[in-house]
Amino acid sequence: MSEAKRFTVKMLDGLRPAPAGKRSYVNDAEVPGLQVAVTPRGTRTFCVYRRILGKPTRVRLGDYPAMTIEQARKRARSVLNQIAEGVNPATEKRAERARAISLAEVFTAFCATRKTLKPKTVYDYTRMLEVAFADWRPRPLLAITKDQVARRHRQLGDGHGKAYANLALRMLGALFNFAIANYEDPDGHALILENPVRRLSQTRAWYPSKRRDTVIRDGDLPAWFAAVRALADEDPDGPGAVVADYLHVLLFTGLRRSEAAALAWRDVDCSARTLTVRATKNGGDHTLPLSAFLYDLLTRRRARDETGAYVFPGPGKGGYLIEPRRGVRQVIARSGIPFRLHDLRRTFATVAAGLGIPYPIIKRLLNHKMGNDVTAGYIVPDLESLRVPMQRIAEALLARAEPPVVVPFGIDKIRPADGAEPVRRIRAEYV
C-alpha cells in the first residue's frame, strides 16, 4: 500500500494520470480508508477501501472536484461506521436500487433475460404492458398490492374482456416471479416475498376460460377465399399480397400464426417439396411436405422476392410479418365472416378429421405432443407418409373454395294439413 498523504486541493489537482490500462490509488492520512482513485484519463474519484468479511471492497463516494475533500471525509466516516456495524454499503446500495425498481424496468430485464421469447411474444407483452398497466409502468414493483391486483383484474375483465384480463394478470405474475428470483437484500434474501397475483388463485377470482372451438364453416369458405383473393389482387406487389399468401399458408398447413410468420426461405426446400419450422412451441423442428397448392404459392412468392430472407417479409425489427391485423380486418369486412388466425388451424384439423385421416397423422401434422397416450407415442409417421394426407386436405379445401352449384331436378307438391292449396317445393342437389 502506498504511503498516506493528507489530501489537499493542491495535491489532488497535481495528481498525474495512471498508466494505460491501470488505476492508481492515493490514501488520505487524515481518514484511514479514504482513497482517491486516478484513471488513465486523469479522472479522480473518492472511495473507501476496507476488507468486508475478508474480501477487499471499494465503495465509491463521488468524483473530485464535484465532491470536495471535506464532503468525502464526512461521507467516508459514515461508510466506515456502517462497515463497523457489519453493513456492506455496496450491497446495501444495490438493494436500495432493487427496492425502487419499477414495473417497466423489471419488464425490460425480463425480456432481456428470456432469450427464448419470440419477437411476436415480446410485441404482445409490450402492448399488454402499455394498455393494461400503463399507469403502473413507473411504479416500484414493491408498491403494487394484492388489492390493486384484484381491482385491476376486474377492471380489465369489464373493459377488455375476461380472456384478456386473465392473460394480462398472468403476464404480471410472471414478472413478479422473475423479480422474486432476481432481486435480493444484502443478506441474500428475496426483496419480494410474495407474488400478489396469487390472490386471484387463492380467492378463485380467475375468469373461467372456455376453449375456443370456432372454425370457418364449409358454407363460409367460398366467401373467405374470395375476400383473400381480392386482398391480393388489390395489392399484388405489396403487404396485401403478403398477408393473403400468409393466410393461405395458415389454412393449408395448420401452422401456428408465429410459426408461419417467421418462416425463412432457407427452410423451404422446393426440390424436396418440404418446409421446416424451427424452434416450435414444442421445442423442436417441424417439417411438413408441400401440397401442390402450397408448392405453387411458395414458388410464385419466391419469384417475386428472390433475395429476401423471409417468406412473409414485414417492416418489424425481425424482418418478417408480425401483426397482419389490417389485412385480416379487410378480409372480415369483405367476406362478412369474423375469424381469428387460430381458427384457420382448427379448420385445417377439422377438414382432416372429416376426410377420415388417422388421428396420429393429424397430431403429427399439427405438431402436437402425444401426451399420456403411450400407444400413440409409438406411432411415429415418417415425412413421406404425410404427403398424401396433406394433398388430400388441400384438395378438400380447394373444393370448398367455390360456391356449390344448384341444379333443380324435380318438383314436389306439399299439401298442408289444414286443407289449403298445395305448395310446390323445388328439390335440388348440390354438385
pLDDT tens readout for residues 40-79: 999 999 998 888 777 788 888 899 999 999 999 999 998 8
Instruction: Identify the pLDDT of residue 427.
Output: 40
3-state helix, strand, coil in the chain (%, to 5): 50, 15, 35
DSSP codes, 367-387: T---TT-HHHHH----TGGGH
Contact 98, 109 (CB under 8 A): no
Mean pLDDT of all residues in the chain? Answer: 85
Q: How confident is the model at residue 212 (pLDDT cuts 50, 70, 90)?
A: low
Which of 135-144, 154-163, 294-303, 375-384 is least confident? 375-384
Q: Where are the beta strands (DSSP E) in 1-43?
A: 24-27, 34-38
**Class of domain 9-87 (CATH, top level):** alpha beta
Contact 110, 183 (CB under 8 A): no
Please give the CATH topology (third level) of the domain spanning 103-202. DNA polymerase; domain 1 (1.10.150)
Distances (CA, A) of 117 to 39, 276, 328, 345: 40, 19, 24, 22
| CATH tag for 218-399 (out of 1.20.930.40, 1.10.3720.10, 3.30.70.60, 1.10.443.10) | 1.10.443.10
Any residues with CB less than 8 A from the CB of 311 and at least 6 apart, and which?
Answer: 245, 249, 263, 264, 265, 268, 298, 301, 320
Q: Where are the domains of the chain?
A: 9-87, 103-202, 218-399
